[in-house]
Amino acid sequence: MIKVIKAETYICNMAKVTISHIKADIGSLPGHTTVFEPVVDEVRKYIREHSSSILSDFYISHIGDDIQITMIHDGGIDNEEVHRIAWDAFKAGTAVAKSYGLYGAGQDLLKDAFSGNIKGMGPGVAEMEITPRKSEPFLVYMMDKTEPGSFNYPIFKMFADPYNTPGLVIDPNMHEGFTFEIWDIVAGKKIELSTPESIYDILAMIGSKSKYVIKRVYTRDTHEKLPDENVAVITTDKLSFIAGEYVGKDDPAAIVRIQSGLPASGEAMEAFSYPFLVSGWMRGSFNGPLMPVGMKDSKMTRFDGPPRVVCLGFVLKDGRLSGPVDMFDDPAFDGARRKAGEIADYVRRMGPFEPHRLPDEEMEYTTLPKILDKLKDRFKEVDSVKKKKNLLSTKDTD
């Protein structure tokens, strides 16, 4: 009971609030480089004119060729009205993109008509329903030219690595760990594992970032300030699985709550202080360094990248947003950007060879199989292999 009483002192309103973040590539300039401001303006205009009875606040941002919508409301996750607003706003923006002849206009809108929920229709979705604290700071991370599994490493660092997050050692509320919800996005299954006791089991899965992805992180029920609360959520939409072919990389986003029994803003950002390798980059087919940048530097240029991440910091109070702060737009991350450039220089020298290029199993939904299919009838048996097969088939099996 003492823990419940303590928890109430940190919660300003027991009414639930939902943070929904929905993103899509609906056309870019000149190729996959950056969004086009008239398209962004149209998305913003549509939401402003149609959301007053549904949303308490919203913010439009972008990274690379993706437009990002952060929305605040009390309708819960998977709310049809909220999802419809985002879908219709993207459709309105697509019409503008097509009028200018932008490249890839509407490419992430994989269905013709809205069917009640935007999930499985192309746009990426990250949502969490929360019990807001008196001060509710959170970060929105947006990546471009990479896949959902690219969040596995930094989310683990934030919530499970004491070398990154000393709060796990010295903050009593964080010391007991967090619960990770991990999805097998190939098999369509999920599992929940808690730290610190299951750290090795978690790592056994999330290192395979194209198959296992962290979907959510929760506080444990013993957390004195925020018991059993969703504190991080990541988009897990795989465009190739929806469309059956490569139509663009998934370009994930994440919402991470911070401070007061959770990772501090600096701990959450520290996870991006070294540019780890991610999959995606040019044609969704190459490994490369993830570069933390401010929004003004989020254009995709060299080899359609390198893959980048932007972080915006907000505070939520009574349904209204304050901010954002462009968190990576700071000289403290200049070193990470320089190192990413060095890694890009090194790995680009490998051209189409692995491990710069992705392995065959991850190229299945790209255009490479079409090239290889044209060559399949030109293959001939290798004589030594043929003789070995004949020898095995004539062995005395009595």
Category of 244 on φ-ψ map: left (φ > 0), alpha (ψ -120 to 50) or beta: left
Residue indicated by tokens 């359609």 = 304
Q: Which of 119, 145, 225, 249 is catalytic?
A: 249
Q: Which residues contact 256 (CB under 8 A, 6 or more apart)?
A: 138, 139, 140, 141, 155, 158, 231, 232, 263, 268
CA atoms within 13 A on the CB side of 357: 13
- Is 212 annotated as catalytic? no
Quote the Cα angle for 145-150-151, to 5°. Answer: 125
Q: Which of 25, 144, 161, 304 is catalytic?
A: 25
Encoded tokens for 266? 């600096």
- Is 25 annotated as catalytic? yes
Secondary element (H or E) of residue 234: strand 230-234
Q: Which residues contact 398 (CB under 8 A, 6 or more apart)?
A: none
Q: Which of 46, 141, 218, 246 is catalytic?
A: 246
Q: What pairs with residue 17 in β-bridges?
A: 130
Secondary element (H or E) of residue 58: strand 57-63
Quote the Cα angle for 63-21-146, to 5°. Answer: 45
- The Cα–Cα gap between 25 and 144 comes to 10
Encoded tokens for 349? 């020298």
CB count in 10 Å sphere of residue 222: 11
- The amino acid occupying position 358 is L
In 21-79, where does DSSP find H-type helix? 37-50
Residues catalogued as catalytic: 25, 246, 249
